Amino acid sequence: MRVALVTGGSGGIGSAVAERLAADGMAVAVHYAGRKAAADEVVGRIEDAGGKAIAVGGDVADEAAMAAAFDAVEEAFGGVDVVVNTAGIMLLSPLVDLNLDDLDRMHRTNIRGTFVVSQQAARRIRGGGAIINFSTSVTRLAFPTYAAYAASKGAVEAMTLVLAREMRGRDVTVNAVAPGPTATPLFLEGKDQATIDRLAAQSPLERLGTPEDVAETVAFLAGPARWVNGQVIYTNGGMA
């Protein structure tokens, strides 16, 4: 049985990814930072559907905590084949007004966190495996107020493409998924209906994405897509 670790697995996209990979027959470790109860609920849904899952906690930017999380996955399931980095935070402000503490927070979680988890994955992942990081379509769309967030995800794209080449000879793919506007609580919070409708209309498919749409792309990269490597997959319904 293939084994997946999903960071941020208690959240909107992360939980959809965890449940989709479990439905594809993988044992799944659902990672959480502070929301253990939410992670336990995801584990419960996977087990109720006949799958195997555990919850693992820790700060993605803390090397010792992530080493311990990987240890727990290996102890429970025997190894790691797929690592999906959905953990991230998004703090929005015009660049001119951004609180630099918010910049540092996003740097710690989005850049350092992805780096730390990718480092553990590169050391431990089994042949035939996949590392899947998360960027954002805003690196192309350039929405106002997203400068710091998009910058952090641009760094994720850079490390992803380099790591794909550094894994030469290991039979491990490394890619990034870059969602567009997706109907998660994190995205919808603070937006009025007119704003939501305007964003939905920008896609030729005339709707927001769903967490399940994004999970579909992750499942492709985690399973059959062995010839897709070193790529950023823009999963946004054609918005960019």
Q: Which of 32, 146, 149, 234 is catalytic?
A: 149
CA distance 93 to 102: 9
Provide the CB-side half-sphere exposure for 87 (13 A, CA). 34
3-state secondary structure of 235: strand
All residues at 6 or more sequence positions from 61 whose CB lies less than 8 Å from its CB, including other chains: 108, 109, 112, 113, 116
CA 167, distance to chain mean position in Å, is 20
Phi (first) and psi of residue 181, to 5 degrees: -55, 120
DSSP letters spanning 19-44: HHHHHTT-EEEEEESS-HHHHHHHHH
CA distance 215 to 92: 24
CA distance 115 to 13: 20
CA distance 107 to 153: 9
234 is catalytic: no
Count CB atoms within 10 A of the CB of residue 193: 8
Tokens of 53: 């899952």
Residues with catalytic roles: 149
